[in-house]
Structure 1
Amino acid sequence: MNSVDKAIETQLENIQTKTGKTLDELYALIRKSGLTKHGEILELLKRDLGMGHGDANRLALTFLQSDGERAAQAAVATTDDAVNALYAGAKADLLPIHETLMAAIARLGPFEIAPKKTYVSLRRKKQFAMIGPATKTRVEVGLNMKGVEPTARLVALPAGGMCQYKVDVTDAKEVDEELMTWIRQAYDSAG
């Protein structure tokens, strides 16, 4: 543990001693308030617990960080639920295509998954792809990239839409080198 981490740990221990409350109890108090902004939480702790600015600031930061990790864990469950909903019923046979695509894209590096009603948006600094069931027999991969010559497989879309290109995928085997080259180009251009 480095000296900064040790200092933070010591400060949190001191906060618990001064307030007579555990971190879990303090976090529960913050959650119960419904406040989510750092400054609001800071003022709550100073007002309701009589904390000094430094301790209130540390506790607010630590709470928001731990709550962010909890939110990230919840987001994974929410994303899984959203994906399962996309591929429910008649579209259930398309889920293996989606999973194959996501596994291949995950190897490119970090990105955010933002589930929507009919697709999932994949983002870095900006959206680079959209994946969702277009019909009960095909998954559509929308791609944002410029300067690529369309082909019979890589279809150019009209200007002003959410993506510049799309590729229809009807079998997991179609998640091949050609498709991944286009996805990599979109991924790289997003961020």
Structure 2
Amino acid sequence: MTDAYTADALFAGKEPVVRETYDRLLEVLHELGPFKVEPKKTSIHLVNTVGFAGVHPRKSFLYLNLRTEKPIESPRVAKTEQVSKNRYHNEIKLEKPNDVDSQLCTWLKEAYLLG
């Protein structure tokens, strides 16, 4: 049943900048190596060997949830949750493609290599 969900459906009705930000995010991730994009009902999971990130589109921005070994200490992180002994989910609000900057790329790489 998960095949019924698509990225396009998740971005329907959202401001164009939300999709542009997502596309920029994927562009950067492709430089790290192969990964799978798995659209779900309300989000998109990004998977290397295991999930390393989740994308949650909203009306005018998106939340990026990165899975890391330690919490990301930054004012850019809206919320951090410890999900197991050495795993944290870090929620980062992205409002425009330029938010996918060198700092975010460092965090993406850490999450990607963990996944």
Same fold (TM > 0.5): yes
- Quick check: 1:150–1:156 contact (8 Å CA) kept in 2? no
Map residues 31-180 of structure 1 onto 2, 5 A cutoff: 82-89=6-13, 91-93=14-16, 94-133=18-57, 135-160=58-83, 164-180=89-105
Offset of 1:151 from its aligned partner?
1.2
Q: Could you say what secondary structure the match of 1:173 adopts?
A: helix
Q: How many residues align?
A: 110
- Residues 50-90 of structure 1, C-alpha deviation per residue, up to 9 Å, x if partnerless? xxxxxxxxxxxxxxxxxxxxxxxxxxxx69x711111111x
CA deviation after TM superposition for structure 1 residue 149, in Å: 3.9
Q: Deviations over 1:80-108 (max 9, x none)?
A: x711111111x142111111111111111
CA distance in 2, matches of 1:103, 1:163: 24
Distance 1:82 1:103, change over 3 A: same
- TM-score normalised by the chain length of structure 1: 0.52
Question: In structure 2, what is the Cα distance between the partners aligned to 1:95 and 1:163?
Answer: 26
Runs of 4+ with >4 A deviation: none
Give unpaired runs (5+ residues) of structure 2. Answer: none
RMSD: 2.2
Higher relative contact order (CA 8 A, sep 6+): 2
Contact 1:122 1:128 in 2 (8 A): yes
SS where residue 147 of structure 1 aligns?
A: coil
Unaligned runs of 5+ in 1: 1-77
Residue 164 (structure 1) shift = 1.2
- One-letter amino acid matched to 2:26: M
CA distance in 2 between partners of 1:87 and 1:163 (Å): 26
Q: Give the greater-gyration-radius structure (CA).
A: 1
Report the secondary structure of 2:69's partner residue. Answer: coil
Higher helix share: 1
Which structure 2 residues correspond to residues 1-12 of structure 1 after superposition, within 5 A? none
Residue by residue, what CA displacement relative to the aligned partner does 1:110-151 show, whole Å, maximum 9, x if unpaired? 111111011110111211000121x21211110000124421
Q: How far apart are the structure 2 equivalents of 1:164 and 1:87?
A: 23
Q: Report the structure, 1 or 2, having the larger strand content.
A: 2
